Every structure is written in structure tokens, then in C-alpha cells.
Amino acid sequence: MIAQTSMPETADVPRASERLARLQRLCERVRACEDETEPWQRGVIATEVWLNQPHAPAVRNTAEVIALCLERIPPALLPEDRFAGFVFRRLRVHQGVSDSDGWRTPAKHPERTGYDERWPLPPDVRRVYERWRGQPRPVQQRNALRAANAWLWRLAIAAPYGSVNGHTLPDYGILLTAGLAGLRERLATARTRTDAPAAQENFAAMDRILAALQAHCHACARLAAKQARAADTPARCDERMQIAADCEHLAGHAPRTFAQALQLVVLGNAVDILENAGDASSFGRLDQRLLPFYQADLTAGRLDRDEALSLVGVFLAKVWACQTSRNLCVGGLCPDGTDGTNELSYLFLEAMYTTRLPNDISVRLHENTPAPFLTLTARVLRLSLGRGGIYNDEVTVEALTRKGVAIEDARDYAPLGCVEVMIPGRSSYRTMGFGLNLVKILELVLNRGQCLVTGEQLWTDVPDTFASFADLQRAYHDKVRSVIDTGVGIIREDERREVETCPRPWLTVMSCGGLEDGRDLTAGQPRYNPVGVTLNGIADIANSLYAVRRLVFEDQTVTLDALRDILRENWAGQEPLRRRVVDGFPRFGQDASELNRIASDEAHFFAACFEPHRTWYGDRFWPMIFGVSTSIIHHDAPRTGATPAGRRLGETLAHSLQPSPAGPRGCLTEILAACTAIDLREFPGGISNVQECDPAPVAGEQGLALLESFLRAYLRMGGMELSLNFLSEEQLVDAQTHPEKYPQLMVRLFGMSARFVALSPELQASVIERVRSSLKRNPA
């Protein structure tokens, strides 16, 4: 049970003030992207470095691109901003999410993607990019095993992947404790301890970045000083001069104040984004890492709580919308097992409530979480900004320790990206590494190894008949295990080769021991080197296995051959039978014991299949239940044939722990009971549990209390993660017709959040279908 201990009453909405009005003006400016750095500013530098010195070590070129960006790209500092530094915004990687901005991330990293003439580049910039015509992409991981097993992706069976890619979770405590100069001193000492050429190359790359970041601090200071000279009031002049002084201080010393610490996090995250071609440069537990600076300022009288809240609000505005999934975590246990909820935990949530900017904030809860903090969490969730999500420490910590993570490290976990779990600065961040579509494997087994969509004959060793459901399930499990074995080989080869083409010198700086080790983070340097491996969803396979068992083996409504014909014909002419299956059979999400048992067994089997395997660097695989709905909608669903549970070709597949939208479901409590019937402690890599809710029951103070009680109950049930969409079908349909009325309407898709009006028609339709199906109830 959540402890009812009290904290100082800090969860009220901050009163209107000049600081609040100024913060709102800043939010308007960042929503208009007034401080945005164009992605081609990095792309031009990357083109110069990689094409001018194609034979240099990859780590040297990677560091040189970052360093030149820090030295050449001018910093930004809006009139209401308190933190200097350039900012990329609107970086996207998922199809169907703000497609008009889809060019930005590849244009930022042409060494990975090459050049696309459709990108809207200025003529002089386009001429630079045209140098890539006919040139190989130097940062491109080639894996012969992936090419040899292209059928996995082609038939939408799985997408095994073993690189760090776009998900990062550096430990900002490393940067904040030592400062830039201190980190360079540690590097200088480390360089005297080895003559190994590879280590020396890595040390030089890290030092090049740190020196350039010091230079960027000086540039930020010059910009702030220039604005001070042009200030129209003494107060504004003093503020700008303080920013200049802070930046100058950071060039040569560790941060001393709360503002300086936030400024250094802004700059460190900018470097992460320069190195990262993905969309998930995450912050980790900033309320823990920043607390000493906040407390020191309060003690010294340099800062009061309202001023700190204003700084946190400005920080959230500064880092808003740079990428789609930049997780920032608050609350939770300390490494020693005590409650880590502190004043900054509240301030980050209050700032999100005040700004209404949907920053990717996650909240860790446990049995001793203070009641006022849970109340504030519920209040922010109810805003329906697409964030934040909650995590259950009791379940997540045990899941991690089961995989050999030390208890102190497990208690310091944080989400990165959408919902993925890693240890800040102590893991390699390889996650989202499988994308297994179980119902596709069942399709192939039922159809004698042949794809229903393409007709391709993939397997020739699948039996034609099965004497029992147990025999069919055994054949299906054999193929699941075989696919996983194949995928593990691909993942291990990705791990082995990543350092050759895509080293991460900045992440190595921000990894515990990285400065002294001499190895790159991608070469096995971190304390933990897991790979998070994903199961796309559980509802479709549970519903389908149950339907086959009932239709063919128990009720004997149809023969196996007849079922094959029905599925091959996409249920055409079989609507009465389809409706019986969809509406009359129990389904995952109704808290039906038989379905819960099947779902639990299949989830356990998936996780157990990885136990015999080890990653290339000798660590464990971390199973996950997490389907990326954009990929499922655009890639998997069109390639997955009709299913025994009544879904037709092309219709939506259920992702993660969501019920299938094809049929009725239980109430939210029954859905979560079905989810927690699975032993989620077997999934240390994280789960995505996004559920749609009617906003009416949680309105007002009584509704808030109801939501708090609901969250407490979910934790007691053994839930792991939960995100809620409080949306109505009427509102979403109106937003389709009148997008100008809903410019900031946010939805949580699978883990990431997005503006509804910026989604493709296909994604909008899927969200509406989810909301509509959440109102369906079992007729029985």
C-alpha cells in the first residue's frame, strides 16, 4: 500500500505571477520553434568530416563532427530563456508521426542515411549534400546474418537488432560532479596508464569533445553578455550577466549552483543529440542528480522554491520537442532502499502542470511513496498530455535483480526513450531488439509453413495435421524458439560489429568508468551489457490460440483444413462464425481465467526462450512486452493474414498489453487484471501498458481521489508500468475535421506521445479505433 506519510504541501498549482507570465511567453516561443537549429547545420559538418577523411578511425570522425558542431553552431538564448545553447527541435523517426518533419533526423546524420534530394535544403547546403551521391555511407552497420535471414523482416515475423542506436541514458551525475575541466583531468591521468593505440584513440576522441564543449560554454557566455549590453532594464542586464557568468564558470569548473547544474545538463544533452541519430536521448533521474545543488542554494539563500520552480519550467521549455521520446524520471527508491522522493520530484511535475508542455516525464512509485506526491502524479496524468507514466519499483527492481543486477543499481533504474528500462551510466542501452510477432508464427504453423499474404513457402517441416491442441502448440513453440535462436545470432553480430562503425565517445564519457577504461561504450565497457528483446503484443496470440483450441479441438465446430480455408479467404462468407468468435469467446482484457492463463504461459515461454542465450559481451537478454504501433500499423498488420480470433487481413494488431480492438473488452480494472496475470518480473527491459480511459469519471476532486485509488490498486496487483489516455471519440473525430481547434491535443501511442493532428490518417484512425473499442463491453 502507498504510505500515507506527508510532505510539505507543495502540489498546488503555482499562483499567477510575472515569472509565470514570462514562462508562458517562453512556451509560446518554443512552440513556434523560434530558437531551432536547422538539422543541416550538423549535416554539413558531418559531410565535411566523413568525406574529407574517409579512412580515419570512426571514433575520431564521430568526435570531430561533435566538436566542430560545438565550435561552429551558434548558441540560442531567447529573451525569456535562462539557459544558453543551440537546440534541435522536431526530430522524428517514426513513420506517420509529423511526417512533414521526417526529413530532419536523416538530414542531420547523412553519414548514416546519405542524401535525399527531396529534403527542403537551401541551395548552398544542397550542393554540399550532393557530395554524397555515389558515396558509401560510412556509418552503416552491415550484418551478413541479417541479410541471410531477410525473411524475418519481409514476412513481419521479427526485427532482431542489437545496436545502441537511438536510445541513450547517460549518468548526468558524472558530468555534474566533476565538471568539464575535471573530466579532462581524469582523462589526462588515464592516458598515462596505457599505450594501447585503440585506448589512446578513444581517450583523444573524448577529450576533443570535452574541449569543444568548454569552447561552446565561452560562446554561450559571449552571447549572454551581448544581450546584457543591449538590455533595456537593469534587472534584465543583471540576469543576462548572470547567465554569462554561469557559462564562463562551467567552462573551467564544476557547477556550484542549481542554475549552473541545469545549464550543464542542457549542454550535455545537446552533445548527446549531436551523437545520437535516434529520438531518445534521455535524462534519467534528474531529481536525484540535481538535489545537492538545489539544497545548497536554499541553504545559502541564493534561491527560493518559487525561483527554483521557474528555473525548472524554463528548463522543460528549453528541452521540449527536440526528440519524441526523451525520458526524464522522478521519484522512486534511493540505492540504499529509502524513499528518494524529494522537492525536485514535485517541482518537475508542477512545472509540467504549469507549462502544459508534454515533456516525457516518468514517475517511479513504491509502497512508501508519500501520498501528496501520488496526488500530484494523478493530477498530471489527468491532464492527458500523453505523459507521464508510472513505474512500480517493487516489481521493476526485482525484475532487474533476477537478471543479476546489483540491488543498489537496480534501485537506480530509469526509463529511457518510451518505456524501456536501463541503469543510467551503467548499461549499454541496447534495447527494442526483437519485435516478435507471435501471431504471424502461428499463421505459418497453421498454414503448413506458407504465408497467407504472399503465398511464400517459408517452412516445409510443419506437420499437415495435429492429433491434439497440445501437438499444435508444441509445433508452434518449436518455431518460436527457432526464430528466437536465429534472431539472437543476428543481435550478437550487431553487438560485435557496432564499435567498428558507430562508436559513442560522448556516451562513454557519461558511463561509469568510461573515462578510465579505454574501451568504447559499444565495445562492452559498461557494467551491464544486456539487450532488451521485445514481444510485440500478447492479446492476438492469446485470443487466437484459444479460438483454435475451441473451434478445432474442443467444440469441433470446424476441421483444421476448414479453418485454414476460412483464414485464407479472410473470413469471407463466414460472418456468423466470426461474430461468434469475436463476441462470444472470452478475450484477453476481460479478466477471463482461461485467457489470462494462455497469455501468462505465452509471455513466460517467450521470456524463457532467451535464458539459454547470452549477449556478445556475456550478459543476459532482458525480455520486454512492447510493440511500436507505428511499425505494427504500417508494416506488420498488412503482412499478417487473418487470425483465428476474427481479425481480418489489414486490420489492426493489438500491441503490447492492449486488448485487441477487434472485439469487446472488460472495464479498465479487468484489463489491468489480465495484464497483471502475467508475471511482469520476467520482463526487466520494460513493458508498454497504454490504456484508454473515459475522462468523465476522473473529473473534479472526487475523480482525482478515484484515480489515486486506482493507481494504488494497480501497484498492489503487481503492475509494472502504466500510461493512460483520457480521450473521447467525439473530441478526436472533431480534431480530424477541425485540426485548428486542437493544435496541442496529445495522445500516447505506444510509449511515445504525439500531437493528434500531426499524425497520419492511418495513425489517427488507429487511435480513434482504440478509444472506440475501449467502450465495448462483453455482451455476456
Q: How does the average pLDDT of the chain come out, rounded?
A: 92
258 and 162 in a single domain? The answer is no
44 and 163 share one domain: no
Task: Flag whether 6 is in a domain.
Answer: no
Task: For residues 348 and 360, give the distance between their C-alpha atoms in angstroms, rounded to a whole number.
Answer: 11
**Same domain, residue pair 97 and 163:** no
- Tell me, yes or no, whether 161 and 245 share the same domain: no
Each as own residue / partner, the long-range contacts of residues 554-560 (CB below 8 Å, 24 or more positions apart, any chain) are: 554/469, 560/446, 560/465, 560/466
Q: Please give the Cα distance from 753 to 645 (Å, whole number).
A: 29
Q: Which of 688, 721, 740 is the last residue of a domain?
A: 688
Q: Could you tell me how far CA 492 lies from the centroid of its own chain?
A: 22
Last residue of a domain, one of 668, 688, 708: 688
Handedness of CA 369, 373, 376, 380 (dihedral sign): negative
User: Could you tell me if 458 and 639 are in contact, meaning their C-beta atoms sit under 8 angstroms apart?
Assistant: no
Residue 680: name the closest of 714, 655, 710 by CA: 714
Residue at 756 is within a domain: no
Task: Determine, yes or no, domain membership for 646.
Answer: yes
Here the CATH number for the domain that contains residue 681 is 3.20.70.20
DSSP 14-35: PPP-HHHHHHHHHHHHHHTTTT
CA–CA distance, 420 with 624 (Å, rounded to integer): 8
Query: Same structural domain for residues 164 and 179?
Result: no
Task: Write phi, then psi, for 391 (nearest 5 degrees).
Answer: -125, 140
In a 10 Å sphere around its CB, with 0-12 CB exposed, 13-18 middle and 19+ buried, how is residue 484 labelled?
buried
Q: Is 161 a domain residue?
A: yes
Half-sphere exposure of 142 (CA within 13 A, CB side): 4
Instruction: Report which residue type is found at 605.
Output: F
Query: Both 179 and 161 in a single domain?
Result: no
Tell me the β-bridge partners of 361: 328
Residue 4 lies in a domain: no
Count of alpha carbons within 13 angstroms of residue 109, beta-carbon side: 23
Give me the long-range contacts of 74-79 (CB less than 8 A, separation at least 24).
74/219, 74/223, 75/216, 75/219, 75/220, 75/223, 76/35, 76/37, 77/35, 77/220, 77/223, 77/224, 77/227, 77/243, 78/26, 78/29, 78/30, 78/34, 78/35, 79/25, 79/29
| Residue 113 shares a structural domain with residue 98 | yes
- Do residue 136 and residue 58 come from a single domain? yes
Cα separation, 249 vs 221, in Å, equals 9
Q: Identify the domain boundary among 275, 290, 310.
A: 275
Burial group, residue 108, by CB count within 10 angstroms (0-12, 13-18, 19+): buried
308 burial type by CB count under 10 A (0-12 exposed, 13-18 middle, 19+ buried): buried
- Residue 446 and residue 523 in one domain: yes
Residues 6+ apart with CB under 8 A from 433: 160, 161, 162, 491, 531, 532, 533, 534
* Judgement on whether residues 163 and 211 belong to the same structural domain of the protein: no
CB 621 within 8 A of CB 429: no
Regions in the chain scoring below 50 on pLDDT: 1-16, 778-780
What span, in angstroms and rounded, lies between the C-alpha atoms of 408 and 256? 27
Q: Evaluate whether residue 595 is within a structural domain.
A: yes
What is the tens place of the pLDDT at every residue in 433-446? Answer: 999 999 999 999 99
Name the pTM for this structure: 0.93
Assess if residue 11 is contained within a domain.
no
* Within-domain flag for 639: yes
80, 161: one domain:
no
Predicted local confidence at residue 776, as pLDDT: 58
Same domain? 561 vs 683 = yes
Could you give the number of structural domains in the chain?
Answer: 2
Question: Please, what sign has the CA dihedral across residues 669, 671, 677, 679?
Answer: negative
Closest-CA residue to 83 (of 263, 215, 307): 263
> How many whole angstroms separate alpha carbon 291 and alpha carbon 312?
12
Count of Cβ atoms closer than 10 Å to residue 481 Cβ: 15
Check residue 4 and give its pLDDT.
37
Domain that residue 571 falls in: 157-168+417-688
Contact indicator for 23, 317 with CB cutoff of 8 Å: yes
Secondary structure letter of residue 418 according to DSSP: T
